[in-house]
Amino acid sequence: MVARGELSGSSKDQKDRLPTSSQRLQRLFAIYIRRMMRRSFRAVRIAREDRPLGVEGVPLMVVSNHPSWWDPLLYLLTATTLFSERRHYAPIDADALKKYQFFEKLGFFGVERDTRRGAATFLRTGERILSAPESMLWITPQGAFTDVRVRPVEFKSGVGHLARRAPQAKTVPFVFEYVFGQEKLPEIWARFGPPVEADAQGDADEHTARMAAALEAAQDRLAADVIARRIEGYEVLVSGAAGVGGIYDIWRRLKAWSRGTRFEPEHATPEHGPPRHGEPQ
C-alpha cells in the first residue's frame, strides 16, 4: 500500500518518518494487478453497503481476513479504486520484505514475526500512520493464512493495543471470498462491515475481541450474499473473461449463429440469478 514519506517532515529523525512510498508506482502496479485479475477471475465484486464513506479527515484502520496469496493485490486494487485520495500502508513480514524490497516503495513496512521487537515496531509505526488524517492502514490480524470458514475468528492482540493508542481512527472490517460458480474462472466477492469504535481508556483485549467479532459478522453476511447470489448489491471492480473456451464455446457460437441469435459467452443461464451489475448485457 502507499503513502508519501514526506508527510513526516524532513526535519524529523528517520525513525519517526512514515514508511516511504510512491503513489506513481502504486498506480502503475494497480494497472498490472487489474490485468492479472482479468486473466484469472471472472469478476471482482464489492458490496456498496457499509463502505467507509463520508469520513474525510479521519484515519482508517482496515482489519481483514487472509485466505490466499491474492489478498495484498486485492487490497491494493480496492485502495486505488475506491480510496485514491487516501494514503495507504500495510505491515509485511520483515524477511519477506527483504526478498521483495520493491514493496517498500508501495508503503509496506517490515515487522518481525512473533517477537517483542516486531510487536513494538508494529505499534510504533501504526500509531504514527494513524496520526495522519488521510491515512488508511490495512492489517490481517489473524496473523496467518486462514480459511474463511474457520470459526470463531480470532485476532492477535496487537491490533487491540493499536486501536487503544489511536482512538481517533475508525476501524472497519473488510472481508472477501474466492468463489467458483457457473463459469470457468472464479470470482472475488468482497464487502466492508460497519465501523468498530475504540477508546484510549478501554481494554485492549476487549477491543481485539470486538474487532474479531465484527469481522466474523461481516464474513457471515458475505457468505449469505454469495450463497444467495445477491449480485444486485455489488459493484464490479474488474470484469474478466466469461465462458468455458476451447471447442465447447466454438460449438456454442455455431449453435447461436445457426439460430440467428446473439452468442452469450456466460455459461450461466438467466435462471441462475439476476443480470450482473456493471457488466454487458
Cell representation of residue 182: 457457473
Helix, strand, coil shares, percent, the chain, to 5: 40, 20, 40
Q: Are 143 and 122 in contact (CB under 8 A)?
A: no
C-alpha cell at 23: 503513489
Look at residue 183 in the predicted model and tell me its pLDDT: 86
- What local confidence, expressed as pLDDT, does residue 140 receive? 97
Task: Look at residue 101 and tell me whether its pLDDT is greater than 70.
Answer: yes
pLDDT of residue 209: 96
In this prediction, residue 263 carries a pLDDT of: 42
Contacting residues for 58 by C-beta, under 8 A, at least 6 apart: 133, 168, 169, 170
**H-state helical runs in 130-233:** 158-165, 204-228
Is it the case that residue 177 has pLDDT exceeding 70?
A: yes
Contacts of 23 (CB under 8 A, 6+ apart): 2, 4
Cis peptide before 91 (omega within 30 of 0): no
Query: Who's near 126: CB < 8 A, 6+ residues apart?
Result: 61, 91, 137, 139, 162, 165, 166
Cα gap 123→181, rounded to integer Å: 41
pLDDT digits (tens, 9 = 90+) for 21-38: 677 888 899 999 999 999
**CA triple 243-244-248, angle to 5 deg:** 115
Distances 2 to 83, 85, 92, 105, 175 between C-alpha atoms, Å: 11, 11, 13, 7, 20
Q: Can you tell me the distance from the alpha carbon of 162 to that of 153, in angstroms, rounded to the nearest whole number?
A: 19
Chain centroid to CA 220: how far?
A: 17
Query: What pLDDT, on a 0 to 100 scale, did the predictor assign at position 15?
Result: 61
Question: What domains can you pick out in the chain, each with its CATH number?
Answer: 5-236 (3.40.1130.10)
| 183 and 223 Cβ atoms separated by less than 8 Å | no
For the cut 50, the answer to whether the pLDDT of residue 273 exceeds it is no
Query: What is the four-CA torsion angle of 31, 36, 41, 46, rounded to 10 degrees?
Result: -30
Of 10-24, 167-181, 230-244, 250-264, where does mean pLDDT reach its minimum? 250-264
Record the pTM. 0.82
Q: Comparing C-alpha atoms, which of 179, 216, 173 is closest to residue 193?
A: 173
